[in-house]
């Protein structure tokens, strides 16, 4: 194997590693962003307070009065 062929193979291997890392971190960051972006809205039936929490929970307690509330549906 001559020097040119070895250099080309080495460059393709390095480019493949960088491409793999780029795809991995891009997907990981996208999943984290989507998880932080999702909010569920609630309205307290006792005090009327509107609030939102992160995640996808069907029930939550009101931060003001402690009443258990169902998710607000549009």
Among the listed residues 70, 10, 7, the one whose alpha carbon sits nearest the alpha carbon of residue 40: 70
The predicted pLDDT at position 35 comes to 77
* Same domain? 26 vs 51: no
Judged against a pLDDT cut of 90, whether residue 72 lies above it is answered with no
Cβ atoms within 10 Å, residue 28: 10
Q: Give the pLDDT confidence of 4-44 residue by residue, as tens digits.
A: 999 999 999 999 999 999 999 999 999 988 877 888 899 99
Supply the range of the domain harboring residue 14. Answer: 1-37
* Same domain? 47 vs 72: yes
Residues across the chain: 74
Q: Is the pTM of this model over 0.85?
A: no
- Count up the domains in the chain and report the number: 2
The predicted pLDDT at position 42 comes to 93
* Same domain? 25 vs 44: no
């Amino acid at each position: 194997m001559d020097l040119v062929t070895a250099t080309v193979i080495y460059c393709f291997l390095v480019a493949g590693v960088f491409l793999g890392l780029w795809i991995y971190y891009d997907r990981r960051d996208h999943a984290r962003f989507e998880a932080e972006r999702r909010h569920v809205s609630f309205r307290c039936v006792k005090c009327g307070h509107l609030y939102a929490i992160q995640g996808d929970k069907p029930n939550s307690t009101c931060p003001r009065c402690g009443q258990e509330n169902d998710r607000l549906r549009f």
